[in-house]
Amino acid sequence: MAKDLVRIGMVGAGSISESHLAAARDGAGAKVVAVCDIIEERARRRAAEFNIPEVYTDHRRMLEESDLDAVIVGVPNNVHHEITVNALKAGKHVLCEKPMAINTAAGEQMVAAAKESGKILMVGLVNRMRSEVQTLRAMVDRNELGKVYYAKAMMIRRKGIPGWGSWFTRKEESGGGPLIDIGVHALDLAWFLIGCPKPVSVTGHTYTAFGPDRRGLGSWGIPDWTGYYDVEDLAVGMIRFENGAAINLEVSWALNMPPETRINVIGEKAGALCTLDGNVRFFSEVDGELVDTTRQGSKVSIFQAQLRHFTDAIREGKPVLTPGEHGLTVTRMLDGIYESAATGKEVRLD
Ligand SMILES: NC(=O)c1ccc[n+]([C@@H]2O[C@H](COP(=O)([O-])OP(=O)(O)OC[C@H]3O[C@@H](n4cnc5c(N)ncnc54)[C@H](O)[C@@H]3O)[C@@H](O)[C@H]2O)c1
């Protein structure tokens, strides 16, 4: 093993661990030396698949016994907090899957633990790694779209409820439905692309039309037919920012509409449309005539780019693109949408 490879412990050997472990196998400056899952058979299976020497069923034991630089947290949302805080306290850098936490209070403790430890807390807001997203953000920073005042983010699945009855659809363990599961990506992208302004207020609404009847089921996750469904399947929200900008968000796991992913970023000089297919389309006006252009980005393996970014930051002491503080602001906005939906009122965040 090359000496400068970052030694990683993977916590959680479920679906998403495959993306992280494949990224490490394919060269991202990391060597996974341990894998941990409370279901031993899952950890053993991943260890065999990815040639990982150490297997654990308790992350605390892994933190004590294994010689690790960093931990990747890929467990149900409600467990992110405990494992991340323990890993940071044990002096490990952490790459924690999205959403960073099921609520703001847990996220705040994670950020505080990172500050105290001096270690990196990176949140797996992996879509920021897309080349077209980085290109567009750089263009916004260079004022090429003019003043950016509005963004619309949509992630609409028509039939995509993950793991019915499992932790995904139980609010206590997931924190919510599509809003926290995929809305976290959509909202984060829109917020990142308009330059991460300070949110001041949120309104939102949620609907549950499919899940309780076991309709709208997708293929991600492992269903548990003894479980239950107490989360939304559609969420809408509007966030206002200190600089006057606003984001409109619409996300669903199940909806009687065609599936759609889009982030619209609207500036005074040009609007941009990202559909996460590698390209960005631009809409503007020259000499009174409408001009539409497409910029073709390069295809990026986003999990590999994310892991490479994390290991480079550890080795070189550089800041990360998706720090805990950003994950926390996104969590505040998501919490605000849920609170507004529950109370029927606007929620102030300032
Ligand atoms: N970045 C993305 O686009 C993306 C995609 C899918 C999932 N995720 C996130 O990844 C996380 C895991 O999702 P998944 O689909 O892999 O779920 P999963 O249910 O397939 O896997 C979770 C695993 O964690 C294990 N686990 C639970 N508690 C544990 C503990 N205390 N210690 C060790 N292992 C424990 C479970 O036994 C299970 O094997 C979630 O937070 C999810 O939001 C991110």
- Ligand 1 site-directed mutation target among 37, 100, 169, 253, most atoms within 8 Å of CB: 37
Cβ atoms of residues 97 and 124 within 8 Å: yes
Say if residue 178 is in the same domain as residue 207: yes
Q: Is the distance from CB of 192 to CB of 327 less than 8 angstroms? A: no
Residues 283, 199: one domain?
yes
pLDDT at 2: 47
For the stretch 183-229, pLDDT in tens is 999 999 999 999 999 999 999 999 999 999 999 999 999 999 999 99
- Is residue 77 within 6 Å of ligand 1 at its C-beta? yes
Which residues constitute the domain of residue 14? 6-126+303-322
Res 117 pLDDT > 80: yes
Q: State the average pLDDT for the chain.
A: 97
d(CA 348, CA 336): 8
**C-beta of 97 in contact with ligand 1 (< 6 A):** yes
Considering the domain architecture, whether residues 17 and 100 belong to the same structural domain is answered as yes
End-to-end CA distance of the chain: 49
pTM: 0.97
Q: Domain tally for the chain?
A: 2
Q: Are 83 and 134 part of one and the same domain?
A: no
Report which ligand 1 atom has the smallest distance to the Cα of 303.
Answer: 1
Residue 74: CB within 6 Å of ligand 1?
yes
Atom of ligand 1 nearest to the CA of 17: 16
CATH code at 91? Answer: 3.40.50.720
Contact yes or no for 84/180 (Cβ under 8 A): no
Residue 316 lies in a domain: yes
Residue 210 lies in a domain: yes
* 221 and 198 inside one domain: yes
Instruction: Respond yes or no on whether the N-terminal peptide bond of residue 53 is cis (omega within 30° of 0).
Output: no
Question: What does the block give as tokens for 292?
Answer: 């539409």
Decide: 22 in ligand 1 pocket, CB within 6 A: no
pLDDT per position as a tens digit, 33-92? 999 999 999 999 999 999 999 999 999 999 999 999 999 999 999 999 999 999 999 999
Atom of ligand 1 lying closest to residue 77 CA: 41
Residue 18 covered by a domain: yes
110 with 132, same domain: the answer is: no
The pLDDT of residue 3: 56
Question: Is residue 264 domain-shared with residue 283, that is, in the same domain?
Answer: yes
Q: Is residue 141 part of a domain?
A: yes
Question: Which atom of ligand 1 lies closest to the CA of 14?
Answer: 21
For residue 302, give both structure tokens: 């986003």
CB atoms within 10 A of CB 166: 20
Residue 131 has pLDDT above 50, yes or no: yes
Atom of ligand 1 nearest to the CA of 11: 33
Domain co-membership, 133 together with 204: yes
Distance from C-alpha of 84 to C-alpha of 308, rounded to nearest angstrom: 20
Domain of 337: which CATH number? 3.30.360.10
Whether residue 236 sits in one domain with residue 100: no
Same domain (yes/no): 279, 211: yes
pLDDT (0 to 100) of residue 1: 41
Do 89 and 139 lie in a common domain?
Answer: no
Ligand 1 within 6 A of CB of 335:
no
User: In the prediction, which pLDDT does 27 show?
Assistant: 87
Our mutation pick for probing the ligand 1 site, out of 81, 97, 170, 331, counting the most ligand atoms within 8 A of Cβ, is: 97
Is 336 domain-assigned? Answer: yes
Answer whether residue 197 is part of any domain.
yes
Is 50 exceeded by the pLDDT of residue 300? yes
Over residues 263-267, the mean pLDDT reads 98
Q: How many CA atoms lie within 13 A of 78 on its CB side?
A: 11
Tokens of 207: 């609907």
User: What's the gap in Å between 81 CA and the centre of ligand 1?
Assistant: 13
Same domain as 278, residue 144? yes
Q: What is the pLDDT of residue 28?
A: 92
Contact 271, 174 (CB under 8 A): no
